[in-house]
A = this chain, B = another copy of it.
Amino acid sequence: MKKIDLDILTTAFAGIETIADPAQVAKLSQDYHTFSPVLAPKLEGKVGDIVVRPANEQEVLKVAAICAKYRVPVTVRGAGTGNYGQCVPLHGGVIVDMTRMHEIVWLKPGVARLEAGVKLAALDKQARGIGWEMRMAPSTYRTATIGGFIAGGSGGIGSIQYGLLSDRGNLLALRVVTLEDEPRIVELRGDDVRKVNHAWGINGIITQLEIPLGPAYPWAEVIITFEDFITAAKFGQALGNADGMIKKLIAIFASPIPQYFHALQEYIPEGVHPAFLMVAESSLESLPGLVQQYGGQITYQKPAQEAGKGTHLAEFTWNHATLHARTVDTSITYLQSMFPADSSLQLVEHMYHYFGDEVMMHLEFLRVNGKVTPGALQLVRYTTEERLNEIIRYHEEQGVQIANPHTYIIEDSGRKVIDSEQLKFKEMVDPYGLMNPGKSKVLQFKITS
């Protein structure tokens, strides 16, 4: 890799918005990998050289040509809300900030075409005007962009209905700009979207996406408390399995996690284990029967017409639970787990008792291959990297799948190997291996050779 000559780049980028101020560049070299005490030191000081902010696809083509010509590393970013260092340039270079490309290209009932930098909340606002909304969104949806979500996300609020982002049907098309000498626009549709979906943003610069939408039910928010964690978890599973009830969120927290949610203290007495729900208003009347069956207490209920006001329960779920815990206690970190689909929740129960307070259980129910499955973003009281790895290993040995959020290397995270189709596509669109080199073991070899 050549030494980066900033002057040459700046001149070449003429006409396109750039940021060269080191403080701002450093800020735009960050994401939320600081949730991980393992990643934080490893990624410390990794910054880009310059930020470029293309306003349209033509400018992206130009940026790509320049970076290819000068063999400069390219790191693409949206809002930088990821947690694995996806936006952190491992070898400096150009940061391509996509947030100026925030046009909703078109929106029709059930489908939207978007530029990569469209914020999820902005899309939802527009889509709800015609009765639709995003099928699923991360807890960072207020700031996150659709491009970043597709590149690095796996699911979220809504996955209890629609499964994972990578499931067939949850992404209809996407378009990338290649990093060839003469960059091209490549549009992928149907199963081909898999070549870029969840490829950590290194398989071409995503410029546009087409996603299916879900009907915008009026969502009510509910907190239900239980005396016993496992009963709360079983309630979550039963609600997930209740096919006649429409839900968008089923999050279950073991005590003492709710103590980190200051805004919700009055609804969650100390020592209880709450379920946070988003349920369609038309299913609300069916809830008390199920709650009673599991001995729960409805302590909070916000009707759908107040959805826009006050506290939004979703903001405390998925990885925002970790965020809230860390504002109180920065020694806390987290895991990302997928338990086996087993309605009896045996392994959940085992882990809950086995680790006690060291690994605080936070379940997020979602659909995995047709089955309601407990995912988990457990909060871990961090001591050492060794102990963290021991905890991860124990989970894996017992049959819990861990998508390790304490590595920035693709093969060490959830996927273990890079999909061969993604690799082939990567070689085509990024022949010089410029897209954030260092993120993959196989690719790293190629680039440094």
**B-contacting residues of A (Cβ < 8 Å)?**
109-111, 131, 135, 161-164, 167-170, 172, 189-191, 212-213, 215, 217-218, 240-246, 280-283, 285-286, 288-290, 343, 367-372
Given A191-B289, A370-B371: A242 touches B110 (CB 8 Å cut-off): no
Cβ contact within 8 Å between B167 and A285:
no
Cβ contact within 8 Å between A280 and B191:
no
Whole-angstrom distance between the Cβ of A159 and the nearest chain B Cβ: 8
CB contact between A168 and one of B163, B172, B286 (< 8 Å): that residue:
B286
A212 vs B170: C-alpha distance when bound (angstroms): 25
Whole-angstrom distance between the Cβ of A162 and the nearest chain B Cβ: 6
A283 vs B168: C-alpha distance when bound (angstroms): 9
Cβ contact within 8 Å between A285 and B370:
no
A161 vs B161: C-alpha distance when bound (angstroms): 10
Q: What B residues does A286 contact at CB under 8 A?
A: 168-169, 172, 190-191
Closest B residue to A167 by beta carbon equals B244
Cβ contact within 8 Å between B110 and A217:
yes
Q: What B residues does A110 contact at CB under 8 A?
A: 217-218, 280-282
Cβ contact within 8 Å between A370 and B162:
no
Cβ contact within 8 Å between A244 and B162:
yes
Cβ contact within 8 Å between A169 and B245:
yes
24 contacts between A and B (CB under 8 A): A109-B131, A110-B217, A110-B280, A110-B281, A110-B282, A131-B131, A163-B243, A167-B242, A167-B244, A168-B245, A169-B243, A172-B285, A190-B285, A190-B288, A190-B289, A191-B289, A212-B280, A212-B282, A213-B282, A240-B370, A241-B369, A241-B370, A243-B369, A343-B370
9 additional contacts (CB under 8 A) given A110-B217, A164-B244, A191-B288: A131-B215, A162-B243, A162-B244, A163-B243, A168-B289, A169-B283, A190-B286, A213-B282, A243-B370
CB contact between A246 and one of B169, B288, B368, B372 (< 8 Å): that residue:
B169
Cβ contact within 8 Å between B243 and A167:
yes
Cβ contact within 8 Å between B218 and A169:
no
Q: What B residues does A109 contact at CB under 8 A?
A: 131, 218
Cβ contact within 8 Å between B372 and A370:
yes
Cβ contact within 8 Å between B370 and A169:
no
Whole-angstrom distance between the Cβ of A277 and the nearest chain B Cβ: 13
Q: What B residues does A164 contact at CB under 8 A?
A: 243-244
CB contact between A243 and one of B111, B283, B367 (< 8 Å): that residue:
B367
A197 vs B189: C-alpha distance when bound (angstroms): 45
CB contact between A169 and one of B168, B217, B242, B343 (< 8 Å): that residue:
B242
A400 vs B58: C-alpha distance when bound (angstroms): 61
Q: What B residues does A212 contact at CB under 8 A?
A: 244, 246, 280, 282-283
